[in-house]
Structure 1
C-alpha cells in the first residue's frame, strides 16, 4: 500500500463530493454547487476521517444572521489537533459555535448511511483500502 499524506486524503474527499452525497437537510441538495463542493458534506466527511484516524467527532451549531441553521461536524484527532476539511462551505458569513465531542453511534449509521457508503466507496476507489469504521 502506498502511504498517504493529508493532501492526498483531502483531494480524494474533494474529488468524491457530489450532489448525491450532499445532506438533504435544509434543502442542501438544491443548494449544492460544484463551485462549493464541501456544502452539505461535513458529517459524512468527518465520519470517514474518523474511520482513518479515530479521535473524536466534533459538532457545533451553525448561525447566520442571528439564527441557528443546523450543525457543523469536524474531527479532533487523538493528538488533540482539530481537523475540519469542509469549513470552506460557509461562504455567506455563517459562524460556528465552539464544538463539543460526540461519540460515534455503534453499528450502522441511523441516518445518512447511503450517502456515507457512497462517499466512502468513491474515496476507496481513489486511495485503495480504508480502515473499517471505528466503533
Structure 2
C-alpha cells in the first residue's frame, strides 16, 4: 500500500464531491456547482475523515446577514488539531459560530447514509481501501 498524505486525501475528496453527494438542503438552496465542489459536503466529508483518522466531529452554526443558515461540520483529530477540508465553500461572508464536539452516532446515519457510502466508495477508488466500517448493530 502506498502511504497517504493530506494532499492525496484532499485531492481524492475534491474528485469525489458531486451533485449526487451534495446535501439536499444545500442543493435546493444554492445548487451544487463544480467551481465550489465542497458546497454541501461538510457532514459526510467529516465522517470520511473521521473513518480514517478518528478523533471527534465538530459542528457549528452557519450565519449570514445575522441569520442562521444551517450547520457546518469538520474534524478535531486525536492530537487536538482541527481539520476542515470544506471550509472554502463559504464564499459570501458566512460565519461559523458556536462550535462544539458531537459524538458520532453508531450505525447507519439517520440521513445522508447513501451519500456518505457513495463518497466513501469514490474516495477509496482514488486512495485504495479505506478502514473498515464498524459493524452495524443488529
Report deviation, 1:132.
2.1
Gapped regions of structure 1 (runs ≥ 5): none
TM-score, normalising length from structure 2? 0.93
Work out whether residues 42 and 74 of structure 2, in 8 Å CA contact, stay in contact via their aligned partners in 1.
Answer: yes
Number of the residue aligned with 1:117 = 117
Normalised TM-score (structure 1): 0.95
For residues 29 and 3 of structure 2, the distance between their equivalents in structure 1, rounded to whole angstroms, comes to 34
| Aligned-partner Cα distance in 2 for 1:134–1:91 | 35
Q: Aligned pair count? A: 135
In the alignment, does 2:46 pair up with 1:46? yes
1:17 matched residue in structure 2: 17
Cα distance, 1:26 vs structure 2: 4.4
Instruction: State the Cα deviation string for residues 57-94 of structure 1 (Å, max 9, x = none).
Output: 00000000000000000000000000000000000000
1:30 to 1:52, Cα distance in 2 relative to 1, 3 A? same
Please list every run of at least 4 consecutive aligned residues from structure 1 whose deviation after the TM superposition is greater than 3 angstroms: 26-30
Gaps of 5+ in 2: none
Q: Secondary structure at the match of 1:35?
A: coil
Query: What corresponds to 1:2 in structure 2?
Result: 2
Per-residue deviation at 1:25?
1.2
